[in-house]
Amino acid sequence: MYRLIERLYPICRSLTGNGVRQTLKILQEHIPLTVHEVPSHTPVFDWTVPKEWNIRDAYIKNSTGEKIVDFQKCNLYVLGYSVPIRKKISLAELKAHAFTLPERPEWVPYRTSYYKENWGFCLSHNQLSALPDDQYEVFIDASLQDGQLSYGEYSLKGQTDAEVLISTHVCHPSLANDNLSGIALAVFLAEQLSARSLRYSYRFLFTPGTIGSITWLSLNEAKVSKIKHGLILACVGDEGKVTYKKSRRGDAEIDRAVVQALKDSADPYDVIDFSPYGYDERQFCSPGFNLPVGCFMRTPHGKFSQYHTSADNLQLVKPEFLGDSLDKCLSIIDVLEGNAIYVNQNPKCEPQLGKRGLYGSIGGQTERKNYELAMLWVLSFSDKNYSLLDIAEKSGLKFEAIKSAAEALVERKLLRESAPRYRHRRHNRETLR
Ligand code: ZN
């Protein structure tokens, strides 16, 4: 994941343009995602797909011809979506088009002007403050023209059509945690899941923030009812503990599955309620959709000082934290995949577990005790009204313990799965026949 981030880091991405295409092309080396192109001006709910922005070069030169700001060295120097310009200007005029971060004077801020045509440069506050009165040449070789909005989509078919949505934004230039970390995590999650036998189908979206998810929802409204659970991935590579932002519903199965998996990990974590501010959960959870989609993060956007600055770089994200985020997402998926309702086949009094070899079958005293407890909990509550996740929550035991107890009981015919919640896909049933 870290190596992928290193490779994607120099590319100048934006809402639209070749940087996003180049990024998606690199992701195709890992997963066979489809790249969709949606023409500028396409109406998508209350919005329209913007013009396509591409940038080739930009700089500021002083009167001796020296480049004091060079886009080739750092793409954050240019205000995102800047219109082209070539002009000689005074220091005062330059300052009117310059963005700095006085409270972090050594960092370059990340700024965009997507919906109002403008041009500008982002500099460190120290650099701008030190500029002498001079005549400066500003040059931005960019184009803002009718074109396309590009996004990536990868569908992984499971046994049922019921879907888990994993979505991440791909519109930020050289910023590592927000959100190359989310892109890398989604890609590796997809790679890992593609090697597994899955109950759910999985849909991975790599879209520009806000307008991308609005566009997808607008063009795919008919598919939305298949989405049973969803996660937005953002800022997942920093050293902070995992923070989960609940879906707008607040008590959806995904919300409970994430809390269960994080609790089972025994690492510190935070759970926060939904708010209509943040990433693409805002669109998926908007009242007209109200999908069960939460947001998986480490330190939330705006809560780390490097957020949206040049300091959100390759030093901020670390392989170990990316790995931890991947492990935790996989354990969330284990809960979703494993959660089912079972029925006790011997419901009149407790079955005798000893004669079926179910006592003392695994080593380690605590482990054995929890395993036996898990069997008792599963037998006691498997009356069609409680799922394994319900039972894990009630018992305080790890989901994994509850799940493996259920598997052992199924094997001994003491338990059977209640009617599956989602029907198997048609061609699978035919294959089985
Ligand atoms: Zn951001």
Report the C-alpha gap between 226 and 224 in whole angstroms: 5
Closest CA to 249 of 269, 263, 228, 270: 228
CATH value at residue 379: 1.10.10.10
Contact of 236 with 296, CB cutoff 8 Å: yes
Residue 430 lies in a domain: no
Last residue of a domain, one of 338, 361, 396: 338
Q: What range defines the domain where residue 99 resides?
A: 55-145
In a domain, 122, yes or no: yes
The answer to whether residues 404 and 411 touch, using CB atoms and an 8 Å cutoff, is no
Q: Given this model, what pLDDT does residue 431 score? A: 44
Residues 140 and 161 occupy one common structural domain: no
Note whether 66 and 197 are same-domain residues. no
Distance 308 CA to ligand 1 centre (A): 6
Task: Residue 230: name the closest of 261, 259, 255 by CA.
Answer: 255
Quote the ligand 1 centre to 309 CA distance (angstroms): 10
CATH number at residue 108: 3.50.30.90
Matching residue, tokens 């480049």: 67
Same domain, 302 and 398: no
Residue 424's pLDDT is: 85
Is residue 425 domain-resident? no
User: Would you call 191 exposed, middle or buried from its count of C-beta atoms within 10 A (0-12, 13-18, 19+)?
Assistant: exposed
CATH number of the domain to which 197 belongs: 3.40.630.10
- 133 and 25 in a single domain? The answer is no
Same-domain check for residues 14 and 73: no
Domain assignment present for residue 428? The answer is no
Per-residue confidence (pLDDT) for residue 362, from 0 to 100: 61
pLDDT in tens, 20-56: 999 999 999 999 999 999 999 999 999 999 999 999 9
Cα 301 to averaged position of ligand 1 atoms, centre (Å): 7
- Ligand 1 centroid to Cα of residue 295, in Å, is 14
The alpha carbon of 263 and the centre of ligand 1 are apart by a number of angstroms equal to 28
> Is residue 432 assigned to a domain?
no
- What pTM was estimated for this model as a whole? 0.96
DSSP of 417-431, one letter per residue?
EPSPSSPBPHHHHHH
Separation of CA 3 and ligand 1 centre (Å): 21
376 and 251 within one domain? no
Same domain (yes/no): 189, 279? yes
User: Are 288 and 186 within one domain?
Assistant: yes
| 179 CA distance to ligand 1 middle (Å) | 7
Same domain? 100 vs 195: no
Q: Among the three residues 292, 316, 338, which one is the final residue of a domain in this structure?
A: 338
Q: Are residues 323 and 291 in the same domain?
A: yes
| Length of the chain in terms of residues written | 433
Nearest to 113, CA basis, from 141, 79, 76: 79
In the reported structure, the alpha carbon of residue 76 is separated from the centroid of ligand 1 by a whole-number distance in angstroms of 13
Instruction: Kindly give the distance from the C-alpha atom of residue 30 to the centroid of ligand 1, in angstroms, as a whole number.
Output: 24
Beta pairing class for 135-145 and 85-90: antiparallel
On whether both 136 and 157 belong to a single domain, the answer is no
Instruction: Specify whether the CB–CB gap between 295 and 258 falls below 8 A.
Output: no
Contacts of 399 (CB under 8 A, 6+ apart): 260, 261, 264, 334, 335, 338, 388, 389, 392
- What is the DSSP-derived secondary structure letter of residue 307? T
Q: Does 427 fall in a domain?
A: no
Domain count, the chain: 3
Q: Could you tell me the maximum CA-CA distance found in the chain, to the nearest angstrom?
A: 92
For the chain, which residues score pLDDT lower than 70?
360-363, 426-433
412 Cα to the center of ligand 1, angstroms: 52
Asked if residue 140 is part of any domain, the answer here is: yes
Ligand 1 mean position, distance from CA 177 (Å): 9
Same domain, 133 and 247: no
Does 378 reside within a domain?
Answer: yes
